[in-house]
Structure 1
């Protein structure tokens, strides 16, 4: 099996997000179906989230140094990550657009193919600021496996 996949591979995604803010910690877990694609040295995970506001299409693009989460549909969000750098993004909902920025302390990803099965992981640790105000420390752990 070629290790440079152009076609998308169906994957099961286990997404764990923990948020720490003012001494409180919340953990959210989602089990999703999506697809993984490798293109020009970047990796793409695509999945849909169904929320009260409607369906949100999410694309997570990542490479060695950076990542970006793009969401469109019920909300539009662009959240970029680059290790040790502050990056600016935005969040647009029917209520307006908010400026967001991330300071990423850890960005790790791995993937392995064994016997034509794909397994991978993306880990992000970051501080999130909204309109310049810190809203918490986030840890995102995204595990994916071909179905």
Structure 2
């Protein structure tokens, strides 16, 4: 069952990811537009990221104290976050499917449903194919775009 457009709120999304691999620190920032909606007991944030290779569609599902990020398109990825848990995921690369794990150290979810506004902050250790890939701090801010 698809969510009707009237049930969705247009939002401005800012995603900041800081990566510390022990040798260097890098920060990536994305500002785009997307939509926020509720379905059952979950909240969803959807947005697209334009890359040179094509478009990446991202869905962020928030339910209670759990966050699931699904990316599809030129990049396919599944990231699952549960506080103080190590959760499996995957990343489809040009070289094949890589198994990943996210060891979530901190997760703060703050949102106001009535105004489609919020912030998700996640600090996690990222593991790819069993090898540590660094400490990641991701912030997702979103706010309703009023006309």
Instruction: State the TM-score, normalizing by the size of structure 1.
Output: 0.89
Report the counterpart of residue 112 of structure 2 in structure 1. Answer: 112
Report the counterpart of residue 3 of structure 2 in structure 1. Answer: none
Report the counterpart of residue 13 of structure 1 in structure 2. Answer: 13
Once residues 39 and 107 of structure 1 are traced to their aligned partners in structure 2, the CA distance between those partners, rounded to angstroms, is 22
Please say if residues 15 and 30 of structure 1, whose CA atoms lie closer than 8 Å, have aligned partners that are also in contact. yes
Report the counterpart of residue 48 of structure 1 in structure 2. Answer: 48
Report the counterpart of residue 131 of structure 2 in structure 1. Answer: 133
Q: Greater helix percent: which structure?
A: 2
Q: 2:122 aligns with which of 124, 127, 147?
A: 124
Deviation at 1:62, TM superposition (A): 1.4
Deviation at 1:90, TM superposition (A): 0.5
Deviation at 1:38, TM superposition (A): 1.4
Deviation at 1:54, TM superposition (A): 1.0
Deviation at 1:103, TM superposition (A): 0.3
Please say if residues 16 and 27 of structure 2, whose CA atoms lie closer than 8 Å, have aligned partners that are also in contact. yes
Provide, for residues 23-54 of structure 1, a one-character-per-residue CA deviation record: whole Å limited to 9, x for no partner: 41111111110001112221111000111221
Report the counterpart of residue 96 of structure 1 in structure 2. Answer: 96
Deviation at 1:118, TM superposition (A): 3.1
Q: What is the count of residue pairs matched by the alignment?
A: 140
Report the counterpart of residue 82 of structure 1 in structure 2. Answer: 82
Structure 2: tracts of 5 or more residues without a match: 1-5
Please say if residues 64 and 109 of structure 1, whose CA atoms lie closer than 8 Å, have aligned partners that are also in contact. no
Deviation at 1:144, TM superposition (A): 0.4
**Which consecutive aligned stretches of 4+ in structure 1 deviate over 3 angstroms post-superposition?**
none
Structure 1: tracts of 5 or more residues without a match: 1-5
Is 1:31 aligned to 2:16, yes or no? no
Instruction: State the TM-score, normalizing by the size of structure 2.
Output: 0.89
2:116 counterpart SS class:
strand
